Each structure stands twice: as C-alpha cells, then as structure tokens.
A and B are shown apart, each in its own frame.
Chain A
C-alpha cells in the first residue's frame, strides 16, 4: 500500500484539519469530529445533518455550506459515525426549527442515527430523518437489510438543503427529501477493489478482465462478477438496471459518479453513452453531474444515479449552493 497518510490511526482527523484550512467558511470541531458552517445556525432555519463513514469524499464533509448541509459527521473509514458526534452536530445546527438527519440505508448508519434521535428527543430538539435507499442492485429487500443508500444522497442533500435555505418548515423539508429519494435510482460497477488504510491491501481480488456488478460504496464486492467490456456496454448495463426498476422518462437529473480511482476522461465517456440511452427512452439529462461525488477511496469504477425532475425540483436543484464540492449560482 502506498498512500499519502501519516498514521493509519489519524487518517480522518488529519484530513479534516486540511479541509478546515482549505475552506475557512467551514469550522471543524476536532474534539467532537464534526464539520460545520463557520457562520453557525440561522435562527428559524431547519438544520441539515448528514454523516457516514469516511472514504466517500466529498460526501459528506464536502457538501457542508450554504444551500446544502449545516453539518456532517464523518466516521472512521467506511464506518458510521457514533451517536456522540451526531448529537453534538444536531445541537450545534439547531436554529429552533428542528433538524433533518439524512441517513444512508446501511445498518450501522441507521442504528447510530436511531440512537441519536432518541437522545435528541431528550434535549427537546425536533428531529426528523430521511432514509436514502436508491441502490437497485439490491433486489430482494425481504432477504437483505434493504436497498443501500448511495449516490442519491447528493441529490437529497442538495434539494432538501435548498428548501431549508428558503425557510421551509421541517415537515416540508422532510417531504421533499423523501420525494427526491423516491424518484432516484442508482447502480454501481467496480473495476477494481479499493484499499482501506487499516487493512493495507485490496479488500478483494479482481482479475484484469473481471468487474463487479452492483457494488455499493464500501469496497464490498458487488452482487455478481462479470467480464470486462467497453464503456458503452457498462453504461447500458447500469442504465438498464435503473430503467427496469423505475422507467426513465422526461427531464432527468443524472450523476455519473467516479468511485475515486477513475479519471474524468472515462467518466465523460460513460456520460456520453448515458445521454444516448436517455434519448432512446425519450428522456434527457436536463441537469447533470460528472465527477467524484460519492467515492470508495481509490476504487476504480463508477455509479450512475438518475432522478426524475419536475419544475419545483429543478428550481431547487438550480438554487445557489456554496460548499467545497458543489458551488454555483450565488453571485456576489
């Protein structure tokens, strides 16, 4: 393993120190391990808190800022944060209008947020939670822990963040978050394993001509192993999986997300195929993101997330955002 780290034990805090130094509009509470807007909570605004294992950067710490999250709780690499972090974050961002927790459907995240919600109630903070579960690679939720939350988390954080910024009450922010999740689907393909610093070698072995179909975001193997093939075919496998689950039509928000180890040139090749696919279905990529947004450390591969837009969701997507990883629209 060759990685730019100082010490396996200090990977997350060392990265957070760098993040804070690069983005003075953020404040990092090193003691509680939370990332906050430096400006603090705005009275009457719903606070948005998300969190999850580290290693998915820029998710979630890179999405803290105006128009998106108020705080993020980064756990250890691929490990959910602990309730202590989440309670500190919830308390810190509470502007009196309640707090929305954005939770990816992974057992650890769900359990820790659930404990946090119980403890927050004791602090008299109104907390609501949206569970993101967009991954269509998980077929039968009766026999699994349910669909994983992956790329749609970015959409939920952006759109709910815009509505919260506009001053909507907690129940409305929750409703739009749930709506974005309901309209979103994701599918991921891995071309390599990733290497977590603590383990020091790839989580699984994958031959040069092999790929993993239906991966999540933790470097875990996917549902099936298959033969490598051109980007056109891989894009089609992913899009077919999305379309089979929720037919694609009309204006669509599309994210072609890199898993951390794939260059942009390849992601754009995939995106070109996605655009063609959408055209075949009479749809179009009305808004798009191409890049690394929900990564798995240094894994090669990509995921595609789609969300069917309407006028209101498009307006909320277009609303200004100022975070380290997503920024547009607020001209000064």
Chain B
C-alpha cells in the first residue's frame, strides 16, 4: 500500500461520508445533537482541495495533512478525535514506501492511542472505539494467520461494521449520548457508524 493507495482511500472516505451524511446525522439526532454527518462531511470535503493543491508524496505527510484539515474544519468531538488519529497514523507511517498490513496495524494502534489519550473512551462506552478496536484486532489476527492483504482488510471492515452494530444495545458512557442515560440504549453510536464507513472505504479501495 503506497501513498497513492492511501490517497485513494481518503478520496473514497470523502465520497462515502458525503453519501452517508444524512444517515450519520439521523443516528446522531437520536442520541445527540444531529450534526455528526454534517460535521464530518464538512471536514472531509475540506480535505479534497487541500490534497488537490499539493499532493503529499509520502503516506505520512498525506495522513498528517488529512488530520490537520479535520482538526481545522470539523469541530465538535469528532474533529479532534479523527484528526488526532490520522495525524498519529501519519507519524508512524512516515515515508514508508510500501506499507504492509502489519505496519498498517501499528499505525492504527497509534491512531487509537491518540483517540484514547484525548477521549479516554474504552470498549463498551458506546463510542467510535467500539468499531475501531474490533477492526484492528481482525487485522492483527489476519496478519497472524498470514492471509492476503485484501482478505485482511475485508475482515477489518466486517469487524468494524459488526462493532458499530454492537453499540445498539449499549448504554453510552462518553460524549453527548451519555446524558441520555438508559435512553441511549437501542441506538447505534454515530461515531462507531462513521468509523465503520472509513473501514468500508478502505475495503473498497483494496478490492479495486
């Protein structure tokens, strides 16, 4: 996976987030303040011209650029959380010319650490972490099993989606939804849903 692969991933995220904008906002309306889709769409839409103006030539520079643009444009909790994640991934990948699945795992772990440093969410809190951690685990398992890259990424995308769906019965303990107490039960976490979209976009690009 070279810098061009990651650029395609980002382009696919920009496209998917835009298409799924209203669904994410609907999920957020149930447990929060109905802006998750609009915020992410605004943030990722801002990424496109930045990358078009000056396409970074390393994966590290590309992801750092994406992170900075999200922090600058999204606001809310998702701006710093996703922004930090992409920045940390960029730091780890640096100028690695051809990223292996194992190296992607290391980068995602760093992204997760960045998110947890800011938000302190753990599994079961009903946040994006509930989609991210299963995805990383599936990817790591795939590396151990020695499966092909495409299969590994498909497994990660499936795990992220299952993780997002698994937030439905959970009681929220972080973020805006936590104020609803028991009323947060029965709704999918919008952050976990958007994380599942990001992995689905990765899978789309990997299967091309």
Which residues of A are in contact with B by a Cβ distance under 8 Å?
53, 75-84, 106-108, 111-112, 114-115, 137-140, 143-145, 148, 196, 198-199, 203-204, 216, 218-221, 223-224
Q: B181 at the A/B interface (Cβ < 8 Å)?
A: yes
Q: Would you give the shortest CB distance from B73 to chain A, in whole angstroms?
A: 7
Give the docked Cα–Cα distance between A112 and B72 (Å).
10
Interface contacts (Cβ under 8 Å), in number, total: 114
| CB neighbours of B80 from chain A (8 A) | 83, 108, 111-112, 115
Q: Is the CB of B33 within 8 A of A196?
A: yes
Q: A139–B25 Cα gap in the complex (Å)?
A: 27
Q: Which B residues touch A219, using CB under 8 A? A: 33-34
Cβ 8 A contact of A220, one of B39, B73, B77, B179: B179
7 interchain residue pairs of minimum CB distance: A218-B33, A144-B178, A108-B76, A108-B77, A111-B80, A79-B75, A107-B77
Q: Which residue of A lies closest to B73 (CB)?
A: A82
Q: How far is the CB of B79 from chain A (nearest CB, A)?
A: 6
A76 interface neighbour in B30, B75, B178, Cβ under 8 Å: B75
The interface of chain B, by Cβ under 8 A from chain A, is: 25, 29-35, 38-39, 42, 71-81, 118-119, 171, 173-176, 178-181, 183
Do the beta carbons of B72 and A79 come within 8 Å of each other? no
Whether B35 pairs with A107 at a CB distance below 8 angstroms is no
**Which chain B residue shows the least CB distance to A113?**
B80
Report the separation of the CA atoms of residues A114 and B80 in the bound assembly, to the nearest whole angstrom.
10
User: Which of B30, B73, B174, B176 neighbours the largest number of chain A CB atoms within 10 Å of its CB?
Assistant: B176
Known A107-B119, A112-B79; contact A218-B73, beta-carbon cutoff 8 A: no
Q: Which residues of A contact B39 (CB under 8 A)?
A: 76, 79
Docked CA distance A84–B74 (Å): 11
Expressed in whole angstroms, the minimum distance between the Cβ of A90 and any Cβ of chain B is 16
Contact of B174 among A78, A84, A145 (CB under 8 A): A145
**Which residues of the partner chain B approach A138 to less than 8 Å between Cβ atoms?**
179
9 contacts between A and B (CB under 8 A): A76-B42, A80-B76, A80-B77, A82-B72, A82-B73, A82-B75, A138-B179, A143-B178, A223-B179
Q: Pick the contact of A199 from B34, B79, B175 — CB < 8 Å?
A: B34
Q: B residues within 8 A CB of A84?
A: 71-72
Q: Say yes or no: A204 contacts B77, CB within 8 Å.
A: no
- Which residues of B lie under 8 Å from residue A223 when comparing CB positions? 179-181, 183
Q: Name the distance in Å between B201's Cβ and chain A's nearest Cβ.
A: 23
CA distance A38 to B179 in the complex (A): 38
CB distance from B112 to the nearest CB of A (A): 16
**Contact among B35, B72, B175, B180 with A221 in the assembled complex (CB-CB below 8 Å):** B180
B121 to chain A, nearest CB (A): 9
Contacts of B33 in A (CB 8 A): 53, 78, 196, 203, 218-220
Q: Is the CB of A111 within 8 A of B29?
A: no
CB contacts (< 8 Å) of A221 on chain B: these are 180, 183
Tell me if B179 and A82 are in contact (CB < 8 A).
no
Please give, as numbers and ranges, the residues of chain A lying within 8 Å of B119 by CB-CB distance: 107, 111
Chain B residue numbers with a CB within 8 Å of A108 are 75-80
Residues on the A chain within 8 Å of B75, using CB: 53, 75-76, 79-82, 108, 112
Which one of B35, B78, B81 lies within 8 Å of A196 (CB-CB)? B35
By beta carbon, the residue of chain A nearest B70 is: A82
